[in-house]
Structure 1
Amino acid sequence: MAFEETTAGPAGPGYVNNKDAQLNRLRRIEGQVRGLQRMVDADSYCIDILTQVSAATKALEAVALGLLEDHLRHCLAHASNDPAQLDQKVTEASAAVARLIRS
């Protein structure tokens, strides 16, 4: 998956006020994924691995929802004076929600 580079809002990305918290969450998830690798390497019981996969998935979903909430509060607020930009930001947010729902 390639990462798309986009322009942040006038005061930076929407998560700028929660950046440290988001990074901490992502580091914990990274640790969970490493733990999953160790479990597979150690031939752990499938259900135990699936339980941990579910936990990591829910943790990633929480990060995604937090980023989306920050986007809505920050980026949409800054775009509210320009109808075309606001429409674009709403479309972006709707697509992000759709991706979360489909996953």
Structure 2
Amino acid sequence: MAISQVSITQPVQPTLTQTVAQTIPSQNKESFGTVLKNAISAVNDSQVASDNMTNKLVNGDNVELHDVMIAAQKANITLNTALQVRNKVVEAYQEIMRMTV
């Protein structure tokens, strides 16, 4: 059993701000409405996929139970994430409205 040597010459991971700045050039920015529409569409797609898998299982199609449960959990997580983001946006809006001018 050999122990390999630890190398310090591995590249350093870029910071989050550098990564975001590189992935979103200024000429390719999407509007807020487009981003919101895509996010809601993704949540809806996961819900529909979960419903389809559940219906296939109920109808006796060749679907594994664990695949159905995974799809249901993914749909649940995406919906809860969307709800939490919405709550934070509403909270931020309310905080802005409480500011005195």
TM-score of the pair, normalised by structure 2:
0.52
Aligned-pair distance for 1:19? 4.3
Question: Where do 1:1-103 residues align within 5 Å?
Answer: 18-43=32-57, 44-81=63-100
Contact 2:43–2:79 (CA<8 Å) still a contact in 1?
yes
AA aligned opposite 2:96: A
> Structure 2 stretches of 5 or more lacking a match?
1-30, 58-62
User: Which structure is higher in RCO with an 8 Å CA cutoff and minimum separation 6?
Assistant: 1
Contact 1:32–1:52 under 8 Å retained in 2: yes
**What do you get for the CA RMSD once the two structures are aligned?**
2.1
Q: How many angstroms apart in 2 are the aligned matches of 1:61 and 1:37?
A: 17
User: 1:57 and 1:18 mapped to 2: Cα distance?
Assistant: 24
Q: Normalized against structure 1, the TM-score is what?
A: 0.51
Q: How many residues align?
A: 65
1:31–1:23: structure 2 CA closer, same or farther, 3 Å change rule? same
Name the aligned partner's letter for residue 42 of structure 1. Answer: K
Q: Which has the larger radius of gyration?
A: 2
- Alpha-carbon deviations, 1:29-78, whole Å to 9, x = none? 21122212221232222221111111111111211121122112222221
Please give the alpha-carbon distance, in whole angstroms, between the structure 2 residues aligned to 1:19 and 1:69.
17
- Give the letter aligned to residue 52 of structure 2: R
- The share of aligned pairs that are identical, in percent, is 8
